[in-house]
Every structure is written in C-alpha cells, then in structure tokens.
Amino acid sequence: MKQILLITIGLSVALWADFSRDDSTQIVTDSTTGLQWQDNAIGNTMPWEDAIAYCKALEIDTHSDWRLPNINELKTIIDRGKVFPAIVDGFTNTSSNYYYWSSSTYEGRKGNAWRVYFYSGRTFSYYKDTSYYVRCVRVGQ
Amino acid sequence: MTASSTTTLDQTKTKIRLSVGSSVVKKIGQTQSYDESGDKVVPISSLEDDGYYQSGVVAHYTRDDATEIVTDHLTGLEWADDANVSSVTKQWLTTDNYNICRANTSDPACYDTNSTADPADDTATEYCASLALGGYDDWRLPTSVELEGIVEHGNTSPSISTVFENTSSNGYWSSSTYEGFKDFAWFVYFSSGGTDNYYKYYSFYVRCVKVGQ
C-alpha cells in the first residue's frame, strides 16, 4: 500500500503540466503536450492572415517549422488561477492588454477567428481583419 | 505519506487523470481553410490555417443510453447527459451569498465549496453534489478547463460533439472563480464555444462531471 501510494504520487508529479523556458533560444517547452512556444518579444499586432504568414516565415534556433496555434493548443497555456496575464508560469513575454490570434476559424461566422485574451483567460472570436498579438508554436522533437 | 489517507490518494488519482487529459490536445474539427472574408480557400495549401494543419487527436466519446452518461475516452471524464442538462439552470451562488461576496470579495461566501455551501442551497454546486445519475454519487461541477475540453469548434449551436444528446445553446457554469473579480465565475457558451466570466448570482445551465472508474 505504501509503495503504491508513493509510485502514484511520483507519476502525478511527472505527468503534471510542465513548462520550461530555454533562456538562450527563448522557447518554452510543454513536456506534457510536446508543444514548443515562441517567447522572445511581445512583438507587434497584425491581422489574422498576416499572423499565419508571420509564423510560417519565423526562424528561431534553426527551427523554421513554426505555425499559428489552433484554439485548443492556445488554451493549453492559459492559467485561470492568475490574471494580468492569465498564462502558465514559464512565459516571460505576454501582453496583458490585448488578444492573441489562433488559427481556428469560427464556424458560426467564417470571417472570424478565435482569440485568447490573456488579461483574464477569456476566449472569443472576432473579425479576421483586426490586428492582435501572435505567439507561434511548433511540435518539439 | 501513508498517514495522509484516502483523501490524498483520491486527489492524486484525480490529478493523474486530469493531467493525462490535459496532455491531449483535441482536433478542432475544422477541415477547410477560410480567408479574411470567410470564403473557402482553394487550393487548401495556400493558407496554412487550422483547416490546413488539422493538428491534434480525434475526440472519442461514447454515450450509455441507459445511464445517460457520456464518456470522454481521451480524458477519462464522464459527463451527465440527461434531459435536465438542456433544461435546468442554477445560480452559482445564492443571492444572499452573492451579496455578501460582492461587499467583500475575500469572504468565504464567495466560494460555493464543501466548507461554505449549504446542501439546501439551490446552486449549481449543490445540484451536482446531489445528482445520482447512473447510481453514482461523486458528481461535481466541472472546472473551466474540463468544460471547455468538450467544446467542439467544428460545430455551433451547440458547439459540442453530436454524441451528446442534451445541450442548450447557452451558457454552462464551471466551478472556476474569475481571479480578477471573485464575485464572477467562468462559464462556457455552447452556442459559439467561447469561454467567459459572469456574475455568480446569474443562472446558467449545468452539466456535471465525474472521473471515470
């Protein structure tokens, strides 16, 4: 019984969401999803199609396979236990006062795409020609 | 460690299930690319959006029609799906507790938890605590992350898998308090699939959850 309990607790720690930031590459890795996140500068806001092109052209630490995250991926870095910004520990560059684009179109109005407001953790869709912040993602090795 | 008893073990089990769940990123269900005007992009490779990548794992739900419970096989969570899910609305806090909370947002009355809740209160938390669906007694209100985990953005009104038979295209309460204003809690709007926060006195729909066996 004692052994089982200890093993269980060990597993729990190992599987709990774990974000670590490499300060030289400024990339945050989530060991539970395997996703790697851009975390260099807060950067500029831009319309949705430009955000897709920006991630496609991005190169960090010889990695050139960046893309705009879909809304489910972007939600995995929200921490609603916090505010201003409501983002998991590990990120150092996040704008609290504006939305971030996802690559997912809103099915109810296809000229809209989904966004995350990292001020609070709210998710909401809006017109694709509006300018918001961008955080690109790639699948780690 | 052993002295910390069943509670610790139960919490640990829950944590494992949830952490396994949170490591799985489900597909959105979007299969086409749409440009700024909402027009379909042809060929699909010319705009590398979610319709192009379709990243993630395919969601897998089954419904037991006898118990009216839907199982999410990726997270291990089991969801109430009886007729009440699309008809019953509940306040997050009673009006009395809401007024106490609004006056002092650090008052324990802000949290409808085991220590402060009255089983007689007609709230979302108490509704789940007293639910006996399928003969189970461990139903609870889902966290915001658990609840938005069953949103299917490829559908709207309601934005959920068609395996679920009872969903109102309206707001559903989560158990998560909004840290910015503690008299607000998070809800998921199953018309669009968005997540937002609102006053705890308000009545939204309720879909209770339990961790599978």
Nearest residue to A87 (alpha-carbon basis) of A116, A59, A115: A116
Mean per-residue pLDDT for A15-35?
89
Domains of chain A: 2-139 (3.10.100)
- pLDDT band at residue B5 using 50, 70 and 90 as cut-offs: very low
Nearest residue to A39 (alpha-carbon basis) of A60, A57, A56: A60
Length of chain B: 213
Mean per-residue pLDDT for A40-62?
96
Pairing of strands A112-117, A99-105: antiparallel
Contact flag A122-B26 (C-beta cutoff 8 Å):
no
Contact flag A83-B154 (C-beta cutoff 8 Å):
no
- The lowest-confidence range among A40-49, B23-32, B90-99 is B23-32
CA-based nearest residue in chain A for residue B198: A122
Count CB-CB contacts under 10 A for residue B44.
Answer: 15
Q: What is the pLDDT of residue B120?
A: 84
pLDDT beyond 60 at A26: yes
Contact flag A32-B23 (C-beta cutoff 8 Å):
yes
The answer to whether the CB of A47 falls within 8 A of the CB of A126 is: no
pLDDT in tens, B45-63: 889 999 999 999 999 999 9
Task: Report the first-to-last Cα separation within chain B, whole angstroms.
Answer: 24
Angle at CA A63, nearest 5°, toward A58 and A69?
Answer: 60
Q: What is the pLDDT of residue A12?
A: 39
Contact flag B178-A80 (C-beta cutoff 8 Å):
yes
Spell out which residues of chain B touch residue A83, defining contact as CB-CB under 8 Å: 178-180
Please report, as a single letter, which amino acid is at residue A25: T
Spell out which residues of chain A touch residue B2, defining contact as CB-CB under 8 Å: 1-2, 5
- The lowest-confidence range among A16-20, A75-79, B206-210 is A16-20
Pairing of strands A99-105, B194-199: unpaired
Contact flag B153-A47 (C-beta cutoff 8 Å):
no
Q: What is the pLDDT of residue B24?
A: 83
Spell out which residues of chain B touch residue A97, defining contact as CB-CB under 8 Å: none
pLDDT in tens, B169-190: 999 999 999 999 999 999 999 9
Q: What is the pLDDT of residue B116?
A: 72
Instruction: Map tokens 């020609």 to a residue.
Output: A129
* CB burial of residue B6 (10 Å; 0-12, 13-18, 19+): exposed
Contact flag A15-B145 (C-beta cutoff 8 Å):
no
Q: Residue A11 has what DSSP assignment?
A: H
Q: What is the pLDDT of residue B11?
A: 39
Task: Report the first-to-last Cα separation within chain A, whole angstroms.
Answer: 37
Q: Which residues contact B81 (CB under 8 A, 6 or more apart)?
A: B63, B68, B69, B70, B164, B165, B166, B207
Predicted ipTM of the assembly: 0.87
Query: Average per-residue pLDDT in chain B?
Result: 89
Spell out which residues of chain A touch residue B53, defining contact as CB-CB under 8 Å: 67, 70, 103
